[in-house]
Amino acid sequence: MSWLMRTGIALGMLLLSVFNGYAEDSITVYKLLQRLENIQLARDSAFPPGSFPSYRKYSTRDDVYKKDDNAFFTALIAFTLKQHQSMYTPAEKLLADRIINRTKEYYQLFRNTTGRHTYNFWRTNPPVVFPNGDWLNWMNKTHKLPDDIDDTVMILMATDTDEHVAKSVHTLMAQYANTKKRTSKSAYKKYRRMPVYSTWFGEKMPVDIDVCVLSNALNFVHQFHLKYTQSDSATVKLLGDVMAHKYYLTNPAFISPHYARTPIILYHFARMIQQGKIHEFDQYKPQLIADAQDCYRKADNFLDQVLLSSALYMLGSKPGTMMLQTDATFDVLLEKNDFVFFVANMSAIMPAKMRQLMTSAKLGTFYYYCPAYNNVLLLENLLLARGTM
């Protein structure tokens, strides 16, 4: 019997008790950390040491997954493990620190080649676009992506960069904000003149506004205690308007082209509100809690339940008991789940009308899957539940 099968059976039994009052959570957290370490240490030539494998599929090809070596999921895993360190037992903390420390050298493969402290989704030297993408790899030299805010702030937060670097990156973010070099043609009209952050550090790249990226940008500003700029204030204003009009329910893929779904947007909002303590959002907390509870009751995917449960804990509300598929093994519940956290959406930079059409037709849309991150989402939920006991 394989290690994964043994772990699956053990954790499957534990999960049944865990989600009825979170009994034995410390055992489960430790086992999830062990599982993460085993995934990280498993060798695959497509994924460098310290990283966590992720995969992508085209929206119209459900049966074809490509190995995709990107900085995003490894940074997201390290960031999530790091932000909950106060909740670990000593043994858990040792294991989590070991996992986080292994990731640090890996990020250098994605750093800007000029030496500045911004990072790319894919490798930069040599540049790669759609790893293992066959004909798509013709774009490696001619259509390489610029560095982006999401990867940059996640890596800097996960590695506890120094204050000087954080300040310099913050200044650079404002230089590429909407209206500074280019003006958005893809957002709602009322947002097109607001100097909010664009997703990309790109001279020629059209402005791309995504509310989850904006939430991560504000997390970065608050983690490093950076002085608010015009772009930070504009970002708070835009996000408040999105909450006021509930666009996260009515048009999630339009306001967040790279995350695209209501549960994931609610999770980002909750994480931002918990970390940043931004008082402008206090008035929306009851509404966000009510909407998250409604989505939680209706969720038909286990990981959506996990994500929404975590969002509710972050917003100060206790979720109800999760509905488990009791006949499913651990690896099916978490690692073979079709849950999509991140979307590569080529239409995000298109003018609004064309973007709506492409999004509806799912053209130029790639879905990303990371088994290790699915484990981290559950681990985070157990830690948040522990914090309420």
Structural domains in the chain, sorted by start: 3-386 (1.50.10)
126: its two tokens: 């040599």
Task: Give bridge partners of residue 55 from the DSSP assignment.
Answer: 67, 369
Report the alpha-carbon distance of residue 333 to residue 374 in Å, rounded.
Answer: 9
User: Looking at the whole model, is its pTM more than 0.85?
Assistant: yes
The HSE-up count of residue 329 (CA atoms within 13 Å, CB side) is 10
Lowest mean pLDDT of 96-100, 124-128, 151-155, 173-177, name the range. 124-128
How many C-beta neighbours within 10 Å does residue 349 have?
Answer: 20
pLDDT band at 24 (very low <50, low <70, confident <90, very high): very low
Asked whether residue 365 carries a pLDDT value surpassing 90, the answer given is: no
Which of the 8 DSSP states describes residue 67?
A: E
| Surface-to-core class of residue 230, CB atoms within 10 Å of its CB (0-12 exposed, 13-18 middle, 19+ buried) | middle
Higher local confidence (pLDDT), 139 or 387? 387
Asked whether residue 363 carries a pLDDT value surpassing 80, the answer given is: no
Per cent of the chain over pLDDT 70 is 81
Report the alpha-carbon distance of residue 384 to residue 378 in Å, rounded.
Answer: 10
Average pLDDT, the chain: 85
- The type of residue at 185 is K
CB distance 73 to 372 below 8 Å: yes
CB distance 40 to 344 below 8 Å: no
Lowest mean pLDDT of 52-66, 163-177, 260-274, name the range. 52-66
The per-residue pLDDT for 13 is 40
pLDDT band at 337 (very low <50, low <70, confident <90, very high): confident
Which of the 8 DSSP states describes residue 103?
A: H
For 132, the 3-state DSSP assignment is: coil
The per-residue pLDDT for 26 is 58
Per cent of the chain over pLDDT 90 is 63
Rounded to 5 degrees, φ, ψ at 52 are: -120, 130
pLDDT band at 160 (very low <50, low <70, confident <90, very high): confident
The per-residue pLDDT for 312 is 97
Convert the pLDDT of each residue in 180-199 to its tens digit. Answer: 988 888 889 999 999 999 99
How many C-beta neighbours within 10 Å does residue 181 have?
Answer: 14
The per-residue pLDDT for 7 is 39
Report the alpha-carbon distance of residue 99 to residue 51 in Å, rounded.
Answer: 10
- The type of residue at 163 is E
22: its two tokens: 């979170």
- pLDDT average, residue stretch 43-66: 85
Computed on alpha carbons and rounded to an integer, the radius of gyration of the chain in Å comes to 20
The per-residue pLDDT for 183 is 86
